[in-house]
Amino acid sequence: MSALTKRSTVYFDPMIHNILKVKSLETSRSISELINEAILHELAEDAEDLKAFEERISEPSISFEDLVKGLKADGKI
């Protein structure tokens, strides 16, 4: 383990822990590696979402009620 890693205790649902153990054995990777990869994937998705929000900041917004009224007026619902 690298000197740059940090230790943390995480409590898993027993079923999730068993799945992680099996995947770890099947892929010859540690549970820590699997969890780190999953977290990095989630953080990357969050970054993409934030970028999309920033790109669309100047678009007009519409309330849910107005959206529903417009769909009704157009005969779509």
CA 13, chain centre distance (Å): 19
How many CA atoms, within 13 angstroms, populate the side-chain half-sphere of residue 13?
A: 3
With 0.75 as the threshold, say if the pTM is over it. Answer: no
Dist. CA 47–CA 51, nearest whole Å = 6
What are 26-45's pLDDT values in tens digits? 999 999 999 999 999 999 99
- Tokens for 30, please give them: 């540690």
Residues of the chain with pLDDT > 90, as a percent, come to 92
pLDDT band at 4 (very low <50, low <70, confident <90, very high): confident
In the chain, domain spans: 14-73
Measure the CA–CA gap between 34 and 49, rounded to whole angstroms.
Answer: 23
Instruction: Tell me the per-residue pLDDT of 9-31, one tens digit each, with 9 for 90 and over.
Output: 999 999 999 999 999 999 999 99
